[in-house]
Structure 1
Amino acid sequence: MTEALDLTAFVQCLDDGAMRMDFAVEGIDGADSIHVIEAALSKLPGLTKARVNLTERRLAVEWSWTRFDPALVVETLGPLGYRAHPFAPRAAEEDVEAAKARWLLRCLAVAAFAAMNVMLLSVAVWAGNVSDITPETRDFFHWLSGLIVLPAAAFAGQPFFRSAIRAVRARSLNMDVPISLGIFLALTMSVFETARHSEHAYFDSAIMLLVFLLAGRYLDQAMRRKTRSYAANLSALRTPTASRIEANGEIAYVPAVALKAGDIVLVRPGERVPVDGLIIEGRSEVDQSFVTGETTPAAVSTGSEAYAGTLNFGGVLRIRVRAAGAGTLLDEIERLMDGAAAQKTRYLRLADRAARLYAPVVHSMAALTAVFWLLAGASAHDAIITAIAVLIITCPCALALAVPAVQVVAAGALFRSKVLLTAGDAIERIAGVDMIVFDKTGTLTLPELGVDGVDEAPAAVIELAARLALASHHPLSRALTVLATEKTPINGAQEISGAGVRAVIDGVEARLGSPEFCDLEAEAARARQSHPESSLIAFRRGAATAVFRIRQKLRPDAAAVMALLRARGLPIVILSGDAAPAVKACAQALGVTEWRADMRPGDKIAYLADLKAQGRKPMMVGDGMNDAPALAAAHASLSPITASGLAQAAADALFIGDQLAPVAATIEISRRATALMRQNLGFAVLYNLVAVPLAMAGMVTPLIAAAAMSGSSITVTLNALRASGAAARMAASRNSPVAAAPRRPRLNEALP
């Protein structure tokens, strides 16, 4: 036991009395690492759960035995080749991932530089072997090639060598084991053949193999990197201190985690609520977007619920604490995110599934080849050369490139369709979706608020109201400001907290704000009856009055894209935390028959879980913090680039712009790309079925094996380029009716 390793400061106590700690783990490379780590930790007494998040390279452990020492986790993983550290969001997500990307890029640069130089020497040897090169000159070129390749391969091959060593230590096999073995044997054989003055050495083949594989590994790593740490986004909403009202009425500033149920806290305008609780005094408007998804501030008063992390816009609130710290809804969202993300990491990519069968088969064939030729009377040298030829010809370069090569081309196609990938396996999961679940606010609607009823008011009234709005900080007022032709606030305008803005214009008072503030309750009641989904802002100056309806506008091509997706056989559901009238109006406008309103983050996850239990593979499209757990829980997920940082971190891809067409484009391109991935993997299998028997029969020299291996890699790369054809067709669709609302598209115009 390492006494100096004190991890107690990082341990969290959960509601059920269990203890939890998160670790950032170095060395996690793929799905095999998940099984190795979790299997090793399952043997520790007292540990009840160990879950690895592959994307975040994070390990979460829980235990119920209070005497369990989390340092055992570090000590258990160390001998397996994994270094564990207490989880810190920036170090785990940004620094570590960026450092690994730079390291892979350095390895690739070293391998590529060595390969370029060695290929010049190899061309001279190949040409000389059919002309008049002397043995001394050929040996010199071979030794010079070895001098360049051996140190370069020792450095550039580290990503594969380290992973292979970890797998062997854990008594398992992954794709990097045959890769490392093939490179090592090819280099060893090249040195041996050079020392024997042979015509052929294979330094060039080994280093070119590393170049191909490192390119795929770096591109895969680049797709895995996230744009933000979701832990940091949640932390930004947490309020470290709170204003507690003591029994004598005095206010004491205390850490939020020190609050207990029953305490009374004071929340002033502009402050975030530090706790979950019940408002016992005060009226205000609160930004609850991360709870409901609705960006319009919610009116709250005595008896209303308050949630930690929400922003108070208007009046002073007194809140009786129900939960603080670990028991808040904000903390529940984080736990839901963790659980959903951990479940998603169980998804095995096509290459991972192939590798599980590939590695043991390759090793077995090479070993059987050597044994067979030894029994047949061949010399040890010839038997080993034949076995190495089998390893080289089956070395999984084509298999390793089959998926990353398509990913790179498809990522470019998606980028041209205004979609950015944030997860390495996003394409495969998006291609498999069979229904789409949309959030409403900020997803089907534009993030900016729009104003209805403008044509019902005189232009002079609209101008005055818009200029008054320039003096307000209220979100509803900001929607009016775009209507102002003169972008200067009215002199002397005064904002009254929780009510609105007033100013005296030519001796007459003008007011903009709530209907009550402007004495327009009757007009507001009629507007709410005919437009229940809208928020209202009123204006009065003497006898001149107006009630403006503030609502979110649907994305301009939303209806056309909904029709297109339904035509593609994809059922559509809308899940929203907004009120039923607003959700119903949106669903009717888009022709969507199935929708749910007033849904919390846990409700959305439960709905998705029910769909999965029915065998469905839903894709979630959402933008808010309340959508983040559902985005992580869905089979695949997509968010607009304007989404919250937490939603962006949870989504598999982000789309840019006001159009919804990228959602349809993402599905179409992903399906095409996944078909090409399967074609590449099928070709790799077919190639091995033909090439391996020839190599085992001794009919293929290592040189021919290396050439065949390189040819297979080039073939899968050229096939991957076919994904760009889908990109060209998708780019052409920008000028199609799908991208050019409001005209309704013909289905054959929308997508290829």
Structure 2
Amino acid sequence: MAAFVIDEGQCFHCAEALPTHPTHAHLDGASRPFCCDGCAAAAAWIRDARLTDYYQLRSEAAARVGTKLADYAAWDREDVIVEHARWLEDGSREITVLTDGMRCAACAWLIDKGLRNESGVEDIVANAVTGRVRIRWRPDATPLSKPLQRMAALGYRPYLATGLEREEARRRDRNRWILRMGIAGLGAMQAMMFAEALYLDTAGEMSSATRDFFRWITFLVATPVVFYSGWPFLEGMWRELRHRRLGMDTLIATSTLLAWGASVVETVRHGVHVWYDAAVMFVFLLLAARMIEQGVRKAASAQVDALARARPLLAMRETGNDAESGREQVLVSQLQPGDTVRVAPGEPAPCDGLLLQAGAFDEALLTGESTPVAKQVGDVAYAGSICIDMPARLKVTATGAKTRLSELARLVDEAQAERPHMAQLADRIAHRFVVLLFLSALVVYIGWRIHDPTRAFEVMLAVLVVSCPCALSLAIPSALAAAYGALSKIGVLCVREDVLDRLAAVDTVVFDKTGTLTDGQPRIAHVDVLSGMHEAEAIDIAQALERDSRHPLARAFNALPSTQGMKAEAVREWPGQGIEGMVAGQRWKLGQATFAATNGKEEGHDIWLGDGEQLHARFTLTEQMRCDAASAMHRLRDAGMSIALASGDSETAVAAMAQRLDIPQHASRQTPEDKLARVRALQVEGHRVAMVGDGINDAPVLAGADVSLAMGEGAALAQRAADFVITGPRLIRIPQAIDIARRTRAVIRQNLGWATAYNLLALPLAAMGHVTPWVAALGMALSSLLVTLNALRLTKVPV
């Protein structure tokens, strides 16, 4: 692989764009530019440690180091690492950490060499594929924080793995699969070599003793392959037989054991043929196909691993009530709502919280957007988002399982745990196919016993092997796993089963307006008061009514300055109309003019405050359209979609938005029932409808559409009713998701077509005796491999 080349204007270490006044350092006899002091210091250390070969070996840029590094001293505390590090017999300790900056083999090489230079570090194992680094160190010689600080200084920020037991189980399982694959590969090569010697004796000139020697040595080679490397298939067969359901593992294990057992019998009785080569080839090739399938599934679950890495372990909690108070470092699990925490630049927020001072956060992990989000006082910063530029102070609102980060991780886990109906259907087809195949093999065996008894077993074995429905069983699961991985990369979470195929069939997309086509952050431009009410009083009443509401409009009122801090009682929301409640002993209504007062009349994009009889104040709202709304509409039209707009907003506001986005079908003042009726009408006309919304009042129509997508910033009820959750603010994710769904449907059809055609062609050829067992194993494995590799094409994310 070619070395990574740095262009002019890029940082020599991380390839980020250079600032106006970059930092320079001498490296390899030349002055190199760097984006920050951290990258310059990392390069200088690499130079001084004589590890500059890293820059020639790497195939990807390093991660940006930054100007401020985290303090890892807390990792030296026993209560922090007790569940993640283990003691070894020689008095050393071992821990596995994660890093998302290790992007190529050269990164792993640099970490290995760099950390071995630290005193007290006894062993380092860095894996560029999994992003895991295993460190063994002597606590009496060096604290753990020292090698971790070195990792961070090189640009590889460490995170705690998912727990010692789970990490150990993951490592043991990976090592077992690698060992099984290695034994199967060596065994297959040796068995084929010995089998070739037997096959080449076409004239029968080999002595009986020599032939028996080759057979017994092949027996010794094949036995560990069948019973150790092939153990996953044997175990799967036992599980299927216990549940009285024949499946792929039963067919694989039966074919393998038949080939091996018959070969042993023929070896003992000095028979004519043995089939050790078919047994070991079958196991080796199927193991290879299964490991590739596991790779596809791991790629799909990468989002869960990334979310797990984003959870910080420690938090800096303030001990007083102001910015000058003392601080203490505590475990995140010890935080409580109402606490105030500080987040250093470059560190992830440990909880969901309200900002006590303006700042910026990188929410790429949660939303898929790489641009930092500027936030004002009172805005929410989410756990896992990275603090940018300056320290932040947060008032804790949610911790642990209640954070948005945990909710997203739960949605991904649930989506991947569900088994789609299409995959279940493929399993049922494979089960019936296996039963039919066993019957066909029996018929073929009986026929060949009559025609040529010497080839009966060999032909039957070839039939069993060549028609193994591996490709059929992999056709759908491998494609779905790859598609889920691609969706998670763009920030679209699939939260229900069997929705990808429905999304691929969509021809009409209906959008809500506020919070969906707009940024969900309406602002009050000005306040007009009527009937002698003071502006401050109107604001206080409106704030009291909206204080606990999750509607997007509530944020606009809560952002206004408050004077009296009134409280509302008996508050009730009327979806699509407004909100009412008791404030200072009087009933007030806030919403549409016709809702707020009996004499109210609809007037533009305004919110009215009334007592049910008379209007007292008008709040004029303004909102901003999402930056990519126009390009998303263009992409949808290019994909053949019809677009409609249905909103509870006024006719003036809805018409203006529809005109800006060139949406011919639009409807205003839509109640939840109206929206649902509109979608139902489209469905009656034969359309497949996707609904995109974000509010509580969108939940009924989201549940009633053929496919529904909820914006991640919206109400939890809307997300629970939806099939997909778009974690980021960009609408372009919608046409991208539809493109992935359509490509997934095409790949599944291709896979099923190939698997069916292969079996229809291979089965007659094998039954007629034109295919030997080892060739049958090769053909079956190649068909499974083709299906899996075809599914891998879905991992490419559309631009």
TM-score (norm 2): 0.48
Q: In structure 1, what residue type is equivalent to 2:448? A: W
Partner of 1:535: 607
CA contact (8 A) 1:190 1:202 kept: yes
Tell me how far apart the structure 2 counterparts of residues 463 and 589 of structure 1 sit (CA, whole Å): 35
CA spacing shift, 1:157–1:346, aligned 2, 3 Å: closer
Shift of 1:665: 0.9
Q: Deviations over 1:704-726 (max 9, x none)?
A: 1111111112222332333345x
Q: In structure 2, what residue type is equivalent to 1:720? A: A
SS for the counterpart of 1:436 is strand
Which of residues 467, 470, 473 is equivalent to 2:547?
A: 473
Q: In structure 1, what residue type is equivalent to 2:547? A: H
Partner of 2:286: 209
Partner of 1:139: 219
Residue 186 in 1 paired to residue 256 in 2?
A: yes
CA spacing shift, 1:546–1:609, aligned 2, 3 Å: closer
Residue 388 in 1 paired to residue 468 in 2?
A: no
SS for the counterpart of 1:202 is helix
Tell me how far apart the structure 2 counterparts of residues 408 and 418 of structure 1 sit (CA, whole Å): 16
Q: In structure 1, what residue type is equivalent to 2:192? A: W
Tell me how far apart the structure 1 counterparts of residues 664 and 792 of structure 2 sit (CA, whole Å): 40
Tell me how far apart the structure 1 counterparts of residues 295 and 705 of structure 2 sit (CA, whole Å): 27
SS for the counterpart of 2:691 is strand
CA contact (8 A) 1:410 1:673 kept: yes
The aligned runs of 1:482-631 (5 Å cut-off) are 493-495=564-566, 497=568, 531-536=603-608, 548-550=619-621, 553-576=624-647, 586-595=657-666, 608-628=679-699, 630-631=701-702
Please, which moves more after superposition, 596-605 or 368-377? 596-605
Tell me how far apart the structure 2 counterparts of residues 212 and 373 of structure 1 sit (CA, whole Å): 32
Shift of 1:386: 1.7
Partner of 2:323: none
Q: Give 5+ residue unaligned stretches, structure 2.
A: 1-167, 198-209, 268-273, 305-418, 572-582, 611-615
CA contact (8 A) 2:604 2:651 kept: no
CA spacing shift, 1:481–1:426, aligned 2, 3 Å: same
State percent identity of aligned pairs.
Answer: 31
CA contact (8 A) 2:297 2:478 kept: no
Q: Deviations over 1:131-160 (max 9, x none)?
A: 698433322122223331465434345665
Partner of 2:731: 660
Which of residues 445, 454, 459 is equivalent to 1:370?
A: 445
Shift of 1:663: 0.6
CA spacing shift, 1:410–1:223, aligned 2, 3 Å: closer
Tell me how far apart the structure 2 counterparts of residues 723 and 611 of structure 1 sit (CA, whole Å): 31
Tell me how far apart the structure 1 counterparts of residues 443 and 559 of structure 2 sit (CA, whole Å): 76
Shift of 1:638: 2.0
Shift of 1:619: 2.0
Partner of 1:148: 228
Q: Deviations over 1:445-468 (max 9, x none)?
A: 333333335999xxxx99999999
The aligned runs of 1:292-371 (5 Å cut-off) are 351=426, 358=433, 362-363=437-438, 365-371=440-446
Structure having greater relative contact order (Cα 8 Å, sep ≥ 6): 1
The aligned runs of 1:45-64 (5 Å cut-off) are none
Q: In structure 2, what residue type is equivalent to 1:657? A: G
Q: Deviations over 1:594-627 (max 9, x none)?
A: 3456666666556545544443322222334554
Q: Give 5+ residue unaligned stretches, structure 1.
A: 1-101, 167-175, 228-343, 501-510, 539-544, 732-752
Shift of 1:582: 6.0
CA contact (8 A) 1:194 1:201 kept: no
Residue 640 in 1 paired to residue 715 in 2?
A: no
Q: Deviations over 1:387-421 (max 9, x none)?
A: 23222212122222223333333333333333223
CA spacing shift, 1:355–1:156, aligned 2, 3 Å: closer
Q: In structure 1, what residue type is equivalent to 2:733? A: P
Tell me how far apart the structure 2 counterparts of residues 708 and 388 of structure 1 sit (CA, whole Å): 14
SS for the counterpart of 1:447 is coil
Residue 718 in 1 paired to residue 789 in 2?
A: yes
CA contact (8 A) 2:510 2:646 kept: yes
Residue 412 in 1 paired to residue 470 in 2?
A: no
Tell me how far apart the structure 2 counterparts of residues 467 and 479 of structure 1 sit (CA, whole Å): 13
Shift of 1:188: 3.4
Tell me how far apart the structure 2 counterparts of residues 435 and 553 of structure 1 sit (CA, whole Å): 25
Tell me how far apart the structure 1 counterparts of residues 420 and 476 of structure 2 sit (CA, whole Å): 18
SS for the counterpart of 2:227 is helix
Shift of 1:664: 1.0
Partner of 2:68: none
Q: In structure 1, what residue type is equivalent to 2:191? A: V
CA contact (8 A) 1:536 1:548 kept: yes
Partner of 1:117: 183
CA spacing shift, 1:345–1:687, aligned 2, 3 Å: closer
CA spacing shift, 1:623–1:366, aligned 2, 3 Å: farther
CA contact (8 A) 1:108 1:214 kept: no
Instruction: Report the number of matched residues.
Output: 468
CA contact (8 A) 2:248 2:431 kept: no
Q: Deviations over 1:539-572 (max 9, x none)?
A: xxxxxx9964236544333244234323432122
Tell me how far apart the structure 2 counterparts of residues 602 and 375 of structure 1 sit (CA, whole Å): 72
Tell me how far apart the structure 1 counterparts of residues 176 and 287 of structure 2 sit (CA, whole Å): 10
Partner of 1:686: 757
Please, which moves more after superposition, 369-378 or 206-215? 206-215
Which of residues 665, 669, 672 is equivalent to 2:743?
A: 672
CA spacing shift, 1:442–1:516, aligned 2, 3 Å: closer
Q: In structure 2, what residue type is equivalent to 1:205? A: F
Which of residues 126, 129, 132 is equivalent to 2:192?
A: 126
SS for the counterpart of 2:520 is strand
CA spacing shift, 1:377–1:136, aligned 2, 3 Å: closer
SS for the counterpart of 1:452 is strand
CA spacing shift, 1:632–1:190, aligned 2, 3 Å: farther
CA spacing shift, 1:469–1:127, aligned 2, 3 Å: farther
Tell me how far apart the structure 2 counterparts of residues 118 and 661 of structure 1 sit (CA, whole Å): 46
Shift of 1:479: 2.0
SS for the counterpart of 2:710 is strand
Please, which moves more after superposition, 427-436 or 398-407? 398-407
Partner of 1:59: none
CA contact (8 A) 2:496 2:723 kept: yes
Please, which moves more after superposition, 182-191 or 446-455? 446-455
Q: In structure 2, what residue type is equivalent to 1:181? A: L
Residue 651 in 1 paired to residue 722 in 2?
A: yes
CA contact (8 A) 1:418 1:657 kept: yes
Q: In structure 2, what residue type is equivalent to 1:146? A: V
Tell me how far apart the structure 2 counterparts of residues 675 and 604 of structure 1 sit (CA, whole Å): 32
Q: In structure 2, what residue type is equivalent to 1:194? A: V
CA contact (8 A) 1:466 1:481 kept: no
Tell me how far apart the structure 2 counterparts of residues 134 and 481 of structure 1 sit (CA, whole Å): 85
CA contact (8 A) 1:437 1:618 kept: yes
Shift of 1:671: 1.5
Q: In structure 1, what residue type is equivalent to 2:446? A: V
Partner of 2:472: 399
Shift of 1:698: 1.2
SS for the counterpart of 2:566 is strand
Shift of 1:202: 1.2
